Amino acid sequence: EGYLLGSDALLTMENLLKAVRSGKKGFMDYKIDENFSGVDALQKGKSIIEQIKAAPYESPESYEETMQALEGAEQKAVPGENRAADFLKETHQPVTVSNLLEASAVLQEDAGIYQKLEDYEKEITREKELEAEGSRLEEYVMHLQESAGDEISLREGMEVFARQTEEILHDAQGQEGVGELDIRDMQQICRGIRFRAALSQESRYQIPVKLEEGYTVMNLTVRRGTGQAQAEISVETKEYGRLEAVFVKEQETGEAEAADGAKAGVRGSLFAESEGGTKLLEGITEKIQEKLRNAGVVAEDMTVMRGSRSRKGGAYGTENGAGTAAAAAKKEGQQEISTGELYQIAKIFLETVRK
């Protein structure tokens, strides 16, 4: 496995199977130099991190940050789970070292990539004495958030944001004192932003949010099925703690639709770990209900709860549960439901937290 990662080969099931089969024969790791005339060393029982460190990289510095990140991920990993790899498969992204690291950061809701981007921009403004002109990054983030009202606009916004941040980093590379490690770091940031933009094609979004304490992220996942659509939202703030929400839109049928002429109904469960967060979510709920009513959409139960959604086992089931509901709806002849209102709800959620 270490050689596959070190050579940046794809972590396909076929390649991993070959590596595992070799491992079962004694965890063999042979090192061969250009004057090879026999096996130099045989080491057994090495961890995956040790194998990656022993892989043939181009230079000693090439994977310094990768090593640190992998070691950190190994300490945080849940035994028996490979969330990052599963996430990449689910979102149809290539399973490479770079993508594994980015997937891990996304799953941990890590906003470090945006904080680094801001630091590089500050270096540019100091060098060129442009402090009075304001932050381009903050402006780009605001434009991205404004695009969150519908699926097409948000996907396009993620692509535009990726190009804009590349421009910032391109300018940063030309500053005095920028070394090779800085450039590698900037390249990694570019890959990370591009990775997040690619996730938008699977209706998964990580949207940066600038707060007083710095950057955080709002994660949004929209799942679409036949007769039902679901939006999952989460954000971590210093003031309110963790905020989570699940909104489900279901197609109204028959008598319910005829009774009030409304479109599909929306219901939601919102979770906050603090009292202040609970009050904030109650305010968000009122804004959402008003928005839905103005759009002619049935605003069903909107419940705010104290605690964590994950500890309560999630609201309205998992993805498999949504799939079962979609299959049942398909049997009834319903069409795939639109997600426009869910994106509008996410935008309200985002704007309220930002303020």
Cα angle 206-282-114, degrees, rounded to a multiple of 5 = 20
pLDDT at 216: 94
Q: What is the pTM of this model?
A: 0.70
Q: 133-183, pLDDT tens digit by residue? A: 678 999 999 999 999 999 999 999 999 999 999 999 998 888 777 888 889
Query: What does the DSSP 8-state code read for residue 337?
Result: P
Q: Count how many Cα atoms sit within 13 Å of the Cα of residue 316 in the half-sphere of its side chain.
A: 25
Q: 110-132, pLDDT tens digit by residue? A: 999 999 999 999 888 776 665 55
Nearest by Cα to 106 from 227, 238, 207 = 207
DSSP assignment of 211-269:
ETTEEEEEEEEEEE-BSEEEEEEEEEETTTEEEEEEEEEE---THHHHHH--EEEEEEE
Given a contact cutoff of 8 angstroms between Cβ atoms, the answer to whether 2 and 54 are in contact is yes
On average, the pLDDT of the chain sits at 75
Given a contact cutoff of 8 angstroms between Cβ atoms, the answer to whether 165 and 193 are in contact is yes
3-state secondary structure of 111: coil
Q: 234-257, pLDDT tens digit by residue? A: 999 999 999 999 999 887 554 444
Q: From the CB of residue 76, how many other CB atoms can be counted at a distance below 10 Å?
A: 9
